[in-house]
Amino acid sequence: MSSTTEQRKVNARMKNPLFLLWIIGIVAIAAVPFAMPSVQLLVSFAMAKGLGVLGVTVLLRAGQVSFGHALYFGISAYAGAFLMASMPGTDFVIVLIAGTLGAVLAGLLVGLFVVRYRGIFFGMLNLAFSMIFWSILEKFYHYTGGADGIRLPRPMVLGNTLDHVQFELVLFYTAVVLMVALGWFTTRWFASPVGQLFQTIKTNETRLEYLGVSPRHALLSGYLLSAVLCGVGGVMMGMAQGVVTPEYVWWVRSAEMVFIAVLGGAGSVQGAFLGALIYEFVRTYASVYAGDIWQMILGGFLLIIILFAPGGLIAILNSLFNRGSGKGGTGK
């Protein structure tokens, strides 16, 4: 388990011609408001959701699946909503920070408990905490708005009041920056000594104990990172939609994140965003043109991926690119 070896892998990926393809993809996304303004908001949703999926992806690197990580997606969104409701005119940056801090605090409290468990127990305990919070949001409707949720007034941006179009543009490019920055940070974190210890939980947890490292502490470090990523995605989604409802923490949202993580490529940073982008477009247009069977379409799509491309969309893309370059292999 050498951080140097992982560092070499990261450097090799950056020198790979496929890296250029990702740069082109980012540039293409950045051009959406000007080239395809009709899908700008949809892409904003996809990037926000991709950040949440990235949080789930972090845990998959340790061999753990959380069926309740929408908890942090929702907590951060509600933290931002409560702040904006109590302090109208709060700046966009403050809302983003406050929402993220809410996810960090919740992640620490819940994480200290759930990191004792593994496998199905880990996944179901996360689900239980998520459903408890969902029940609180539903029952205390005088404070949370119940099923109707809380509407978010448009925040100020660096002291300036923006109109609807201007704010959506700021939100879009903030999401682009966060996607690139947090994606890069997560990749580097995986290559760091702390990240390497965290990933060892999947392959040989006993080895950590022999090294004098607490597996619980190692898992907690990754758990907090996953909570932060979900939190950033949640507060961004809340501001993009303009309303926060208990649906943000409903178990379906958590299952959706796991679905997208597997679709894009379990454990892949790029796959989290690629999967979220594909998922949002397929779900949106399938629900319009095939309203009665769009869930079946998505389910069938995932079944095909699991059976014929278990590495997800990212593995298919890598394989096609390497085959076209004459390298062969899967591109892992």
pLDDT of the residue at 73: 95
Tell me what the pLDDT averaged over the chain comes to: 86
pLDDT in tens, 290-311: 767 777 877 787 788 778 777 8
Summarised one tens digit per residue, pLDDT across range 154-186 is: 888 887 888 888 999 999 999 999 999 999 999
pLDDT digits (tens, 9 = 90+) for 12-61: 555 565 677 788 889 999 999 999 988 999 999 999 999 999 999 999 99
Query: Is the predicted pLDDT of residue 212 greater than 90, yes or no?
Result: no
Supply the pLDDT for residue 331: 40
Q: How confident is the model at residue 99 (pLDDT cuts 50, 70, 90)?
A: very high
- Residue 78: both structure tokens together: 């509600």
Residue among 127, 97, 122, 88 at smallest CA distance from 231: 97
Whether the Cβ atoms of residue 274 and residue 305 lie closer than 8 Å to each other: no
d(CA 203, CA 222): 15
Type of residue numbered 14: M
Classified as helix, coil or strand, 292 is coil
Residue 3's pLDDT band (cuts 50, 70, 90): low
Higher pLDDT, residue 190 or 23: 190
Note the residue count of the chain. Answer: 332
How many other CB atoms sit within 10 Å of the CB of residue 205?
16
CB atoms within 10 A of CB 316: 16
Q: What is the pTM of this model?
A: 0.87
